[in-house]
Structure 1
Amino acid sequence: MSSVLFDLILVWSSQESDADYLELQNLLKTEFPNEFLIYSFTTTKQAIEHVQSIKKPSRLSIVITKLGTNEETSSKPLIEAIRSHDKHTFIILHSCTACRDPNIRWSFASLGVNMITETIKPIRDVFQQLIPLAQPSSKSKYACLYCKWPSFSLEQLCIHVPLYHTNEQEFSVKCNLCQRPTHNYAVHLHDEHSPEQHPRSIAGPLYAFSLVVCRRKRDNCFLVVQESGSMGFWLPGGRVELGEQLDKAAERETLEEAGVKIRLTGVLKIEFIPRSDSNRLRIIFFAEPADENDCEPKTIPDYESYGAMWLTYEQTVQCSTQGQLRGNEPLKWFKYIAQDGIIHPLSILSKNEL
């Protein structure tokens, strides 16, 4: 029992004991036989009573809960009970409905759910990221600015912040490593302090960005990213790195932010914006999934995004009316495509570029 690192609370009603539950149980037995002390409940009330009975937790906690099919099994009261006093518990919502309904997804992300998924594989992947956080380090000297969790090593801090706090409302903070102000702590940690070796992008007088409107043909759904910091749903895309081609940047950013491999099929707009201190170039590409049978969006949060999902145009309209879009461009472009707007060939870009 000394090797146990986390308390794992499972809330899964008997009506929901499906193949995914069996897959999860098998995962815990075969790949994580010692890391978790498991508490299983079939009702929300039981889980809340257990959580409230723990006065001084001796271990970190992970909660995996279904959305719930009725008042007895609804996960919302449990999440609210945990988040009323605790930001250290990692909460996973396993729900097909929440992954496909933007309003439900938005609601539970706002409640403080760390991760929303409809399959078990991402849960396995996130376990592998969480386990190092519970292991003591001789280099532990940093605290999280969001939840004040003490005694992280630099490596642990760079794992913890995007996993636990990607969807936090952004606020201006002073980095506790370099004392410089930042409006996005997770991105700042990655770009300035991550122990991983990665190329740094050096901004010049021209900033280039590649954005992507990606449509899944079989159901006319569009890919959106749920931006970090509760900024809203947005098109996948981002800055073009030095030495990188525009199309490769579009493919890379979509994979990083949304977890989907794409195939570019056209260009919607080339936009140049001159400014007094710099100029900005934006290319908005049109794309489709590289494989429509393998295009499940990203569910594990990181410094790039909280996750991603597929939306219909009608769902996007609803998101817009409820203030859940970062801006109006997703709505504009999804309507444009739905109305058979002109899609320019990739060849309008220089052959040296594509």
Structure 2
Amino acid sequence: MGRYQCFQEGASMVTDSLSAVRDVLSFIASCDGRPSSSRRNNGSSRSKFGGRDGYTCPFCGRSGLDEDQLWRHGPMYHINEKNTDGLTCPICRETPRGPFQVHLHNAHGPPGRHEMASEFHMAESTLYSFALVVCHNRKLNSFLLVQEFANSGFWLPGGRIDSGENPAQAAIRETKEEAGIDIRLTGLLKLEYHPKRDRGGSQYVRMRFIFSAEPLDCDQPPKSIPDYESAGATWCRADQVASLPLRGPEPVTFFHHVASGKPIYPLDLVHMTSSSS
């Protein structure tokens, strides 16, 4: 009988680990008349443990459980119960909007006491997504650089992904706006996900898609008329880029990576759609 079939036949746990068996048997024994460590540490407060009788599992009717025992009993005995709405929590007597299992795990036990991460206590985080492009002109054996405003140096074409766009669309659009070059994306060099905090302490995430690309027309001239997007653009060989004033060091790394023929991930590594798809 396979593992999955065991669960289909009513099993709640399948293991060949002796340590796992010992752990579970120890927990079962603690529920048969012996309070858990949290109950010993906190006393027999009626408001926390429901008096001498403790709490009753709403799925199987098992009674006499303290908060931590019920918190662990739920998934251990009822892992195959479908998410159930409308159940009144025996601990706080609230009827949560969502599934009882989610409420029990996040509002009570160690997460409820902030001893473990709780989905209910997670701060909201804003996601800022960007697309950057490493465009290689094989005819010129050169790479595309955008000249930033205010003498900020040179940088890769790219920018923030607009609402409704996918990363590939943003990469193509930004390269045209900032560098005046029409491109075809050829692969994915890197995908970055960086959780950060702003100066006020709020959480946010910066996500960057760094694409490889080539110009549709190797003879198309880069942009030279300054506008809001950039001061212009130029082609630069990989062995020249380190001598230029750069906004950051990454063009050196990426240009040498592509020029030396190192691996580039296929575009279909990331499934991308737009809001119009």
Q: Residue 342 of structure 1 is aligned with which of 246, 263, 269?
A: 263
Among candidates 196, 216, 230, match of residue 290 of structure 1: 216
**Which residue of the partner structure matches residue 206 of structure 2?**
280
Structure 1 stretches of 5 or more lacking a match? 1-203
CA contact (8 A) 2:128 2:206 kept: yes
Match of 2:192 in 1: 271
Aligned to 1:308: 233
- Asked whether the 8 Å contact 2:166–2:272 carries over to 1, the reply is no
Quote the offset at 1:220 in angstroms. 1.2
SS at match of 1:330: helix
- Partner residue in 2 for 1:250: 171
Alignment of 1:142-221 (within 5 A): 205-221=126-142
Residue 328 of structure 1 corresponds to: 249
- The one-letter code sitting in structure 1 at the alignment partner of 2:233 is A
Aligned position for 1:317:
242
Q: % of aligned pairs identical?
A: 49
Counterpart code for 2:232: G
- The match for 1:235 is 156
Letter in 1 for 2:270: L
Distance 2:140 2:231 in 1: 24
Deviations 1:72-121 (A, max 9, x none): xxxxxxxxxxxxxxxxxxxxxxxxxxxxxxxxxxxxxxxxxxxxxxxxxx
Matched residues in 1 for 2:249 and 2:177: separation? Answer: 22
Q: CA deviation at 1:257?
A: 0.4
1:337 CA drift (Å): 1.0
Q: Which runs of 5+ in 2 are unaligned?
A: 1-124, 198-202
Q: How far 1:251 moved relative to its partner?
A: 0.4
The separation in 2 between residues aligned to 1:329 and 1:349, in whole angstroms, is 22
Paired residue for 2:180? 259
| Cα separation, 2, equivalents of 1:272 and 1:257 | 24
Distance 1:219 1:334 in 2: 14
Q: Compute the displacement of 1:351 (Å).
A: 5.0
Contact in 1 for aligned 2:129/2:206 (Cα 8 Å): yes
Following the alignment from structure 1 to structure 2, what is the Cα–Cα distance between the partners of residues 338 and 238?
A: 23
Give the structure with higher Rg (CA).
2
Please give the alpha-carbon distance, in whole angstroms, between the structure 1 residues aligned to 2:144 and 2:250: 13
Name the amino acid aligned to 1:291: D
Matched residue count: 146
Q: 2-side partners of 1:340 and 1:349: how far apart?
A: 22
Task: Name the CA distance, whole Å, in 2 between partners of 1:351 and 1:330.
Answer: 25
Distance 1:328 1:281 in 2: 18
CA distance in structure 2 between the aligned counterparts of 1:345 and 1:260, rounded to whole angstroms: 22
Which residue type is aligned with residue 235 of structure 2?
Answer: W
Q: Distance in 1 between matches of 2:137 and 2:129?
A: 26
Q: Which amino acid aligns with 2:186?
A: T
What SS does the aligned partner of 1:230 have? Answer: coil
TM-score normalised by L of structure 1: 0.40
What's the CA shift for 1:352? 3.6
Residue 313 of structure 1: how far off its partner (Å):
1.1
